[in-house]
Amino acid sequence: MCLRDRNHIIKSSRNTKNAPKNSASTQSVAFSHYNNISAQLALDPNTGKMVIGGIKEQTTQCLNNIKAIVEKIDHTMDDVVKLHVFVKDISSIKIVNEVYKTFFNDILPTRTVAVVASLPDNDALIQIDALISNGEGTAPQQPCALIKVSSNTDNAPNDKMATQTVAFSHYNNLSAQLPIDFKTNEIITGDIKAQVKQCLYNINTILNSIDHVLDDVVKTTIYIKNINDINMINDVCNTFFDDYIPARTFIVVEDLPAGALLQIDTVVSHGDGTPPQLPEDSRLLVIEAGNSVNAPVVPYSHTVAFSHYNHISGQLPLDPKTLTVVDGYIQAQTKQCLNNIKAIIESVDHVMDDIVKVNIQLKNALDIDLVDEIYTSFFKEALPARTVIGVSAIPMDALIQMDVVVSNCESTSPQ
């Protein structure tokens, strides 16, 4: 278990008055060499109210809130490794991009963009969360000016607003890949199976360009437009992996860039690390994939640990014995999701307070207050960073789904 004393890496949970506070999350939770930033709405931190204006003003405020959090912990926006941008209207992306690019002086981070059914505030048009590099590490690690390694290959689609892959320390985050043919820069023709294959082909091409393979993938988040496509996507995805099936979450969205049917967001193990860490043989750094008998069976891993992080697959409010959604309203379903997550975490000798980031999808965004009554009771210490979005559908007709990222202080062999 991740004991909290001077001999173990300690989570660093922090808030600043210069950005909006949320009673159910911490603005910034650092562990080891990464820092998770809670999703930011366009709220004025002084008034707690949505800024006046349209998508341009809201995008500016979201990014200013992230910037305030990042600067409070002595970082800059150029330390951002990955951003998730959730909008209500796909046509707003052009304006979002005009604002977005002004916040970075260096190479742009990796990015995922999706249109969602709703956001936690009815007036919100956009929400953004962030993952940043944390070179100083967390106690008792010694500060170390680790260097981001950004890369693009001409053999996969390139986005002017994002870098294909950004590595830092022992993880590599890829921009979400659409089913685009890099030669034509257009979505391929064909059904969902063809589009899944193209997404995975693009991911594999990017990985090969940095001397990695698909079996180095730790977690995939798959954004889909049609919930009925899940089984076909699983069938195709699972043929691409030999050693184990990475952790996985499906999120139903209203629209995706270029009219795609899906996009795949990928987190990759990076055994070679980034300078000045010494290169290591990736084959010697073990990826620990596992399943718990006390959580619902799925056709992928419940949990995949690598280095100092552990990624947990999306959990539905399913009874692990019957594999059916539990009876009751949002409170009962929230409790079951969290009990499933708790069972998985405890199966690998961790506790709920080791969670650094939580992602929640709700059928009804107005349920968030009821969710929080249950949610907060599962934690004894500072709450994790968090992102909440509203979706039009969740697998098994559930009302809620959650996935989490867990600190893994014992690390994976041979660290």
Which tens digit of pLDDT belongs to each residue from 381-394? 999 999 999 999 99
- Going by DSSP bridges, is the β-strand pair 400-407/355-362 parallel, antiparallel, or unpaired? antiparallel
Which tens digit of pLDDT belongs to each residue from 298-322? 999 999 988 778 999 999 999 999 9
Output the pLDDT for position 413: 43
- Which carries the bigger pLDDT value, residue 171 or residue 337? 337
pLDDT (mean) for 263-278: 80
pLDDT (mean) for 361-367: 96
Cβ proximity of 196 and 180 under 8 Å: no
Q: Report the SS3 class of residue 18.
A: coil
Which tens digit of pLDDT belongs to each residue from 174-202? 999 999 999 999 999 999 999 999 999 99
Alpha-carbon distance of 300 to 83, in angstroms, equals 25
- Which carries the bigger pLDDT value, residue 307 or residue 10? 10
Rounded to a whole number of angstroms, the distance between the first and last alpha carbons of the chain is 16
Which tens digit of pLDDT belongs to each residue from 18-62? 999 999 999 999 988 889 999 999 999 999 999 999 999 999 999
Which tens digit of pLDDT belongs to each residue from 145-169? 777 889 999 999 999 999 999 988 8
**The model's pTM:** 0.94
Tokens of 69: 């959090």
Cβ proximity of 114 and 223 under 8 Å: yes
- Which carries the bigger pLDDT value, residue 323 or residue 289? 323
Output the pLDDT for position 243: 83
Instruction: Enumerate residues 6+ apart whose C-beta is below 8 A from 135.
Output: 33, 79, 143, 144, 145, 146
* Residue 412's pLDDT band (cuts 50, 70, 90): low
